[in-house]
Amino acid sequence: MLSRFSSFFKSPSHLPQHQQRVYLILLYGGLMAFGFHLALLFLFQSLEVYPLARFNVGSSVWWLLSLVLLKRGFNRQFIVAMDSIELFAHQCFATYLLGWEAGFPMLITPVVPLVFLGGFRNVRWPLVFTFTSLGLYLGAYFLTRGYVPPYQLPQSTLIALFVVATLSFFTFSGLFSYIFSNAARKAENTLLKNNHELATVNEALIASIQYAQRIQRAVLPPPEALEKQFADSMVLFRPRDIVSGDFFWTDNTSNGRTYFAVADCTGHGVPGALMSVMCSKALTEALLDLGDDAQPALILDRTADLIDRQLSQSQSTSIRDGMDIALCCHRPADGVLEYAGAHHSLYHLGGEGLQEVRADRQPIGSYPKRRPFTHHQVAVQPGDCVYLTTDGFIDQFGGPENRKFMKKPFKQMLQELGTVSMAQQKREVERIFESWKGSRPQLDDVCLLGVRF
């Protein structure tokens, strides 16, 4: 019984916080108004102002009905309008019977904040009620100048009524301020608590991601590994997040061949990093299976089989899981570079300028119409450069028009930088990327590999 009584004075928990505040104002304000009108009923009855006594009987019932509708979950905008209309009617009738000095026009002032907090979808209605309040207040002031009301109460009684009306106004204002300040304090405490919990979870997530980064770095070859095979080389590696779905891979065989690749796995962050570890392992396994003379195209075919087999173990795996890749094999004995690619081209800068060797338009992984990858051979001379890249640089939005960098400017950039060392090229490419990106977020992982023979 006690719990049901106490629950009467609380707002429904399913309401959003801002609606709970309005609910409490309507609830406590309605209870105050109900008690106030009951008191006025007996007061005017004792003062023999019988029209106002009878009016307050109706007003008390009106406010009681307002509370019942509120507790039953009735439309709160209707209840706000209902309460406002009673206040308008009450002040007009009381001012007509008793005059301005009784202080009843002050009772309409709470209407203004109430209608703006009532949740009206259209601002028209709050404005209508606001200007109505203003018009009635000013009208009561100017129209009662020199007006002789039908009921002449003693000056002391009028002063007492004015004090009561003033106290009612300040009581409502205090209630209004308390509910909102209390709600703000609770919201601040909740926010601080949630921020602390989020910070704790975030620290745990970052620690897990950093641990995943250490695992990824331990499994994948470092960019410096390429320098052991090619003195003038570079790897520009810029993950979008702490860990990356892009990766660089290299291996060399006993017959002097060097394999190197850049790949872009499905996803970013931790999902992409997990895919990169699996795909890197599959590349190494494919090379071991096929032997030291394996062509890049055959390695990609074998890698696709391995990844498809691993991904097919999960029925929930999307058919888009896998990677795009550009894979090369350098045969230094005869100056030949073998290449095969899945969506990622080879860029060769030699005596005839920059040439693009296009990749097959199919990914590595589960793909319903997979074909054998195409084998390409490119004759490379001393001083020639080759570049492999994922699409992170090309697809980065930036510049004055906020558009993608695109492939044509990317190829032009490579051609213009081809005369300087790879270390200088790396610094310049990083500068161009930062200048293009500006303050915009990096949208994808970036991996660019360059080798000068």
Q: 283: buried, middle or exposed (CB in 10 Å: 19+, 13-18, 0-12)? A: buried
Would 10 be classed as within a structural domain? Answer: no
Region of poorest pLDDT, from 42-46, 131-135, 173-177, 335-339: 173-177
Of 192, 209, 242, the one marking the end of a domain is: 192
Per the CB < 8 A criterion, the answer to whether 137 and 79 are in contact is no
Q: What is the mean pLDDT of residues 53-67?
A: 93
Whether the per-residue pLDDT at 49 is higher than 60: the answer is: yes
Q: What is the mean pLDDT of residues 264-277?
A: 84
Calculate the CA 85 to chain-centre distance.
42
Whether the per-residue pLDDT at 320 is higher than 60: the answer is: yes
Q: To 10 degrees, the CA torsion angle through 401, 405, 406, 411?
A: 130
What does pLDDT average to over the chain? 89
**Residues above pLDDT 70, as percent of the chain:** 96
Angstrom distance (rounded) from CA 39 to CA 35: 6
Region of poorest pLDDT, from 82-91, 135-144, 174-183, 352-361: 174-183
Would 410 be classed as within a structural domain? Answer: yes
Count other C-beta atoms under 10 Å from residue 384's C-beta: 18
Would 101 be classed as within a structural domain? Answer: yes
- Whether residues 180 and 268 fall in one domain: no
pLDDT, residue 230, reads: 94
Q: Which residues pair with 346 in a beta bridge?
A: 357, 388
Would 239 be classed as within a structural domain? Answer: yes
**CATH number (domain holding residue 448):** 3.60.40.10
Tell me which amino acid residue 214 is. R
- Whether residues 255 and 369 fall in one domain: yes
Whether the per-residue pLDDT at 319 is higher than 60: the answer is: no
Q: What is the mean pLDDT of residues 366-393?
A: 93
- Whether residues 183 and 269 fall in one domain: no
Q: Which residues pair with 450 in a beta bridge?
A: 234, 387
- Whether residues 38 and 80 fall in one domain: yes
Residue in 352, 322, 357, 353 with CA at minimum distance from that of residue 339:
357
Higher-scoring residue by pLDDT: 204, 430: 430
- Whether residues 173 and 287 fall in one domain: no
- Whether residues 411 and 295 fall in one domain: yes
Whether the per-residue pLDDT at 315 is higher than 60: the answer is: no
Which band of pLDDT confidence, cut at 50, 70 and 90, is reported for residue 314?
low
pLDDT, residue 212, reads: 81
Write out the residue range of the structural domain in which residue 114 sits. 15-192
Task: Spell out the residues 6+ positions from residue 89 whose beta carbon is closer than 8 angstroms to its own.
Answer: none
pLDDT, residue 187, reads: 78
Count other C-beta atoms under 10 Å from residue 427's C-beta: 15
- Whether residues 352 and 414 fall in one domain: yes
Angstrom distance (rounded) from CA 314 to CA 307: 12
Whether the per-residue pLDDT at 164 is higher than 90: the answer is: no
Angstrom distance (rounded) from CA 119 to CA 19: 8
Q: What is the mean pLDDT of residues 107-115?
A: 82
Count up the domains in the chain and report the number: 2
- Whether residues 161 and 263 fall in one domain: no
pLDDT, residue 316, reads: 52
Angstrom distance (rounded) from CA 129 to CA 109: 11
Q: Which two tokens stand for residue 403?
A: 């558009």
Read off the pLDDT of residues 402-413 as tens digits, 9 standing for 90 and up.
Answer: 999 999 999 999
Read off the pLDDT of residues 275-290 as tens digits, 9 standing for 90 and up.
Answer: 889 999 999 999 999 9
Whether the per-residue pLDDT at 116 is higher than 90: the answer is: no
- Whether residues 161 and 230 fall in one domain: no
- Whether residues 184 and 247 fall in one domain: no
Count other C-beta atoms under 10 Å from residue 298's C-beta: 19
**Residues above pLDDT 90, as percent of the chain:** 52
Would 199 be classed as within a structural domain? Answer: no
Would 109 be classed as within a structural domain? Answer: yes
Q: What is the mean pLDDT of residues 374-384?
A: 96
Residue in 448, 336, 446 with CA at minimum distance from that of residue 384:
336
Which band of pLDDT confidence, cut at 50, 70 and 90, is reported for residue 168?
confident
Q: What is the mean pLDDT of residues 434-452?
A: 95
Whether the per-residue pLDDT at 25 is higher than 60: the answer is: yes
- Whether residues 313 and 371 fall in one domain: yes
Would 76 be classed as within a structural domain? Answer: yes
Of 149, 174, 192, the one marking the end of a domain is: 192
pLDDT, residue 4, reads: 59
Would 6 be classed as within a structural domain? Answer: no
- Whether residues 314 and 402 fall in one domain: yes
Higher-scoring residue by pLDDT: 270, 239: 239
Q: Which phi and psi angles does 105 have, rounded to 5°?
A: -55, -25
Question: What number of residues does the chain have?
Answer: 453
